[in-house]
Amino acid sequence: MQITPSNLGSYVALAAMLVATVGCNGGSKPTASGEGGGSSSGELVKLQGSGASFPALLYASWFKTYSDEHKNVQVDYQSVGSGAGVSAVIDGTVDFGASDAAMTEEEMAKVERGVQLLPMTAGAIVIAYNLEGVSELKLSREAYAGIFLKEITKWNDPKIASTNEGVELPDADINVIVRSDSSGTTFNFTQHMAAISEKFKSDVGVNKAPNWPVGTKSKGNEGVTTSLKQTPGSIGYVEFGFADKAKLSMASLENKSGKFIKPSIESAQAALAAVEFPPSLIAFLPDPEGDESWPIVTYTWIIAYKTYDDSAKVEAFKDLIKYCLTTGQESSEPLGYIPLPEAVTSKVTAALDNISAK
Amino acid sequence: MAYIVLQITWKASPAIQEYGAGFLTGRTWDPNTSEFGILPEIWGTLYSSLLALFIGSFFGIAVAVFLSEGYLGNFVFNVLKLFGLQFHKFWGKLPSWSESTLKNLVELLAAIPSVVYGLWGIFVVMPLLREPCNWLHENMGWFPIFGTRYQGPGMLTASFVLAIMILPTISAISRDALVAVPPKLREASYGLGATRWETILSVVLPTASGGIFGGIVLAFGRALGETMALAMLVGNMNTIEISIFSPANTLAALLANNFSEAGSDEMKVGVLMYAGVVLMAITLVVNIFGALILQRATAGLKGMR
């Protein structure tokens, strides 16, 4: 297999997967640029974060740009999955975590220092597939729930065929790919599935790591994207940006109003328009209303502690978040994420006051 | 070593008390309902390792024979002849340094990180195996080991890559064992009129079988514990299937996939440690078994040395 621009995306995703698989590399890299350049203070501040792979593409871009502009701050982010991110926050092994399943009350209670959740961006979860010759696929709610429940196992099943007239569907097995790690993407996906299918709710349930009745498992959004790219006849759920970057075909899904919607930043934005954040800044949309709404959307959060030992760290962290909420939002759309509306960013900025040094 | 075993068993003890032997026969792994069973993983671990051993031993021993019995010299002689360079054929065996260089090259396979093998499996092996495997399934699907369609990640992909990973262990040790066979035995065999292959198959290989077997047992140990490449290739699905094309799971892959999330939950860590203890036990049994057979094999050959 040769490297072409069209499959470059999966290689990039794979490189990210490598980083995630190899795990935490906390090794201290001496920065040569610390002395000279435009750095205001000589002291190097290191921020370590880990968690969700869903926003990993965006976070990697933010943190890199920020570190380039602020030579005295070094931000490391490991895309290890939301479940691992939350565990890392509870264990106190990181400076901040990230999760797109937010945190449960129970999990928050385990952190003595207290946590502040900060919604950073939002995204759409899409159902991507790899089926030669089929570039457009419409899936009804019944169809995609059926696929992930192992009720529909062939591509030419009448339930798929009925909404895809004129599309030649092969008589082949559907190879479902799900996540192997504890994942916020899975959490949001199952939350949506449970909202549209009673059977899914009772058989699989809403969970970061459910007991899937079907599917081979890959690690992270990166892993699922690569598997989809490499396996003809496969289908799986990934964050929009990953599917877009890897040039995967994405299915149009039936939304709450019964319309088939193409995944796009606009349709996801339409879905998120109605969200009102409570003071905790945690809100989910299992099945958004609206004719133009993409049905599976979610916010994703950075999890900060309420108190830190080191005041320099707090300063750097707050500055980093402010940067992400302002300049950073501009790079959301090109990477396949949804920029936060003004009303939300101001709330998040205000919430930064809850974070302080001891 | 004892400390490690003790520590792991200690951490596993709450899970051992809670789940007991049912852990070994259960088929579900669902952290949400706290239902844990590792029978599919035990099956997958043994099946994938044996399959890998089957492929790996064949090629490993072939490589060892090639490197130790002077076939390299023949090969070089024939290649040069193709280019019109003809030497006198006294060159039947190349100087030993050239063979040991090649042996070292094969051993370099062992230095490639596991993740790289995983990537290689995804990008090279899977597309390569897809066509022939689907052909096998369509034409010989009645045969249980070809019973499911080849999807990509699964037992065969994992075992194939695993076979390459254990190849250096088998070939290096086998070559050493073959080289150690006394030249007198070969000469005697030729003297009786045996051909080269007859000598290799009925004299040299049986004499070196103890050493070769030792290499295979070591390789088996490695195959059982191999983690990252398998987690990327085996499909991580808790099923027990005879078909070599179906996705499966192994103990090591299970540990790799779940450990980062187990976090501070004592019971979750416990069940993973319990799975680790089981894996250790399997490896131990394999090694003891191997050592015993090795002992018997070498005892039988003592007189020949």
**Inter-chain Cβ pairs, chain A and chain B, closer than 8 A:** 92
Please indicate whether, in this complex, the C-beta atoms of B31 and A209 are within 8 angstroms of each other. yes
Please indicate whether, in this complex, the C-beta atoms of B119 and A211 are within 8 angstroms of each other. no
Taking alpha carbons only, the member of B274, B45, B35 closest to residue A210 is B35
Crossing angle of helices B39-68 and B155-179, in 10° steps, is 40
Distance CA A128, CA B193 (A): 67
Chain centre to alpha carbon of residue A168: 32
Taking alpha carbons only, the member of B235, B16, B55, B86 closest to residue B163 is B55
ipTM of the complex: 0.79
Spell out a b/e string for A91-117, using b for 16 or more CB atoms within 10 Å of the CB, else e. eeebbbbbbbbbbeeebbebbeeebbb
Please indicate whether, in this complex, the C-beta atoms of A182 and B263 are within 8 angstroms of each other. no
| Bridge pairing between strands A175-179 and A96-99 | unpaired
pLDDT at B95: 72
- What is the distance in angstroms between the CA of the first residue and the CA of the last residue of chain B? 35
Distance CA A333, CA B87 (A): 68
Distance CA A287, CA A189 (A): 10
- Quote the Cα angle for B293-B299-B304, to 5°: 130
- Tell me which residue in A91, A207, A209 faces B264 most closely, judged by beta carbons: A91
Taking alpha carbons only, the member of B305, B303, B258 closest to residue B41 is B258
- Enumerate the residues of chain A whose CB falls inside 8 A of the CB of residue B243: none
Q: CA of B115: which chain A residue's CA is closest?
A: A18
pLDDT at B259: 79
Distance CA B11, CA B280 (A): 14
Residues of A engaging B, defined by a Cβ cutoff of 8 Å: 1, 14, 18, 21-23, 80-81, 83-84, 86-88, 90-91, 110, 173, 175, 180-182, 205, 207, 209-211, 215-219, 223, 226-227, 230-234
Q: Which residues of chain B have pLDDT under 50?
A: 305
Distance CA A10, CA A16 (A): 10
Q: CA of B254: which chain A residue's CA is closest?
A: A180
pLDDT at A29: 40
pTM of the model: 0.82
- Fill in the amino acid letter for A92: G
Neighbours of B156 (CB within 10 A): 27
pLDDT at B210: 85
> Among B33, B41, B117, B122, which would you mutate to test the A interface (most chain A Cβ atoms within 10 Å of its Cβ)?
B122
CB-based contacts of A5, cutoff 8 Å, min separation 6: none
Q: Which residues of chain A have pLDDT under 70?
A: 1-42
- Fill in the amino acid letter for A85: G
Please indicate whether, in this complex, the C-beta atoms of B263 and A227 are within 8 angstroms of each other. no
pLDDT at A38: 39
pLDDT at A337: 93
The structure tokens 């951490």 sit at: B11
pLDDT at B77: 79
Mapped onto helix, strand or coil, the DSSP state of residue B151 is coil
- Enumerate the residues of chain B whose CB falls inside 8 A of the CB of residue A90: 263-264
Residues of B engaging A, defined by a Cβ cutoff of 8 Å: 28-33, 115, 118-119, 122-124, 126-127, 130, 149, 151-154, 228, 231-232, 235-237, 247, 257, 260-264
- Enumerate the residues of chain B whose CB falls inside 8 A of the CB of residue A2: none
What is the rounded (10 degree) CA torsion for B4, B7, B8, B11? -170
Q: Which 8-state DSSP code applies to residue B202?
A: I
- Enumerate the residues of chain B whose CB falls inside 8 A of the CB of residue A211: 28-30, 32-33
Is the dihedral angle over the CA atoms A86, A91, A93, A95 positive or is it negative? positive
pLDDT at A321: 95
- Tell me which residue in B31, B127, B260 faces A84 most closely, judged by beta carbons: B260
> Among B34, B117, B137, B236, which would you mutate to test the A interface (most chain A Cβ atoms within 10 Å of its Cβ)?
B236
